[in-house]
Amino acid sequence: MAKVEKKKFTKEYRLKEIEKNLTKKARLKKGYLKALKDEGYAVPDKPKYEKYDKSTTDAKKALNKQKVRDQKEEHRQRKRTQKEKEQSFKEQEIRRIQVSKDKQVDREKRAKKLTQRTRRGQPVMGPKINDLLDKIKNDETYQ
């Protein structure tokens, strides 16, 4: 049974199925039209196929070429915008990293100032007071 299921996915099997379906539809249609004729109803005429104009096919080809050109241009535009987005993202990332490095350096300087000690081991109060004043100046509630 596994062999039968494998064959379902082959090209030959699909072609046979399509052919079988087409012949079945043709047979059913023929029987239907024959039954209509036997019962006295009007049988619809077969649709006549119009010959294609070369001008219409040329116009379609030109239209298809234009569509292909438009799609290529759209693809290029998408690539350009994607590159621009990537570039701006990289620049923002570099700026963010630089800002974080600068903040880290400032923190280290501030920590060094605040941890200064006198010869006797007492904390130096000048930098601590200056730090508190800077905090008050930068605070928005006091502005």
Three-state DSSP at 1 gives coil
Q: Is residue 9 part of a domain?
A: yes
Q: Is residue 15 part of a domain?
A: yes
CA dihedral 132, 134, 140, 141 (to 10 degrees): 30
Q: Is residue 125 part of a domain?
A: no
DSSP state letters, 9-76:
TSHHHHHHHHHHHHHHHHHHHHHHHHHHHHHTPPPPPPPPPPPPPHHHHHHHHHHHHHHHHHHHHHHH
Q: Is residue 102 part of a domain?
A: no
Q: Is residue 6 part of a domain?
A: yes
Q: Is residue 27 part of a domain?
A: yes
State the Cα–Cα distance between residues 122 and 20, nearest whole angstrom. Answer: 100
State the Cα–Cα distance between residues 111 and 102, nearest whole angstrom. Answer: 14
Read off the pLDDT of residues 76-105 as tens digits, 9 standing for 90 and up: 999 999 999 999 999 999 999 999 999 999
The larger pLDDT score, comparing residue 96 to residue 137, is at 96
Read off the pLDDT of residues 23-58 as tens digits, 9 standing for 90 and up: 999 999 999 999 988 998 888 877 776 666 677 788
Q: Is residue 58 part of a domain?
A: no
Read off the pLDDT of residues 117-131 as tens digits, 9 standing for 90 and up: 999 999 999 999 999
Q: Is residue 24 part of a domain?
A: yes
> Is 90 exceeded by the pLDDT of residue 73?
yes
> Is 80 exceeded by the pLDDT of residue 111?
yes
In the chain, the number of structural domains is 1
Query: 8 is in which domain, residue-wise?
Result: 1-42
State the Cα–Cα distance between residues 115 and 131, nearest whole angstrom. Answer: 12
Is the whole-model pTM more than 0.95? no
Q: Which helix (H) or strand (E) holds 111?
A: helix 54-114
Q: Among 44, 43, 61, which residue's Cα sits nearest to residue 52?
A: 61
